Amino acid sequence: MNRKSVVIIGLIIGLLASSLLYGQGALEIRAASNTAIAGWQLMPAPGGRTVWVSPTTALTSTDIARAEPRTDAKGERTVGVVFTEPGARKMAQLSAAQANQHIALLLDGKVVWVPLVRSTIEKEAVLSGVTPDVVQRVLTSIKQ
């Protein structure tokens, strides 16, 4: 086996081990809709519903500077998210384009949260109405 093959095999093993160790895939934020849009994928969403999701990823975990667990006024866990400067610009564009429509947060390629965009979101956002498991998974995904 030559040196190049050993390096490639080592990289593959490292990526697989990292994936198994952290148990989290990519975090993505995409445009979403309750009605069919050509080219968009129909995906299961929380609460037993389905949502049409754009094939284009608008933001990823690299667009998030930090995330922290918070508790809302009702005592429920939420996630406070602060975007990077480029992430804030992307989020502002996405939220303006999706005003009064939905966006989808995907973890490991699965929709875990589908909020209605009520106004333009820029530097910070709060993920509320998500299960404690989703809160933990989002925090873990962003730390990577």
Cα-based distances in Å from 13 to 21, 26, 46: 12, 18, 33
Range of the domain at 110: 25-143
CB 118 within 8 A of CB 102: no
Identify whether 115 is part of a domain. yes
Do the Cβ atoms of 35 and 102 come closer than 8 Å? no
Q: How confident is the model at residue 12 (pLDDT cuts 50, 70, 90)?
A: very low
Instruction: Look up the CATH number of the domain holding residue 72.
Output: 3.30.1360.200
**Total domain count for the chain?**
1
Summarised one tens digit per residue, pLDDT across range 15-67 is: 333 333 344 458 999 999 999 999 999 999 999 999 999 999 999 999 999 99
11 domain-assigned = no
Residues 118-140 have pLDDT tens digits of 999 999 999 888 888 888 888 88
Model confidence, pTM: 0.78
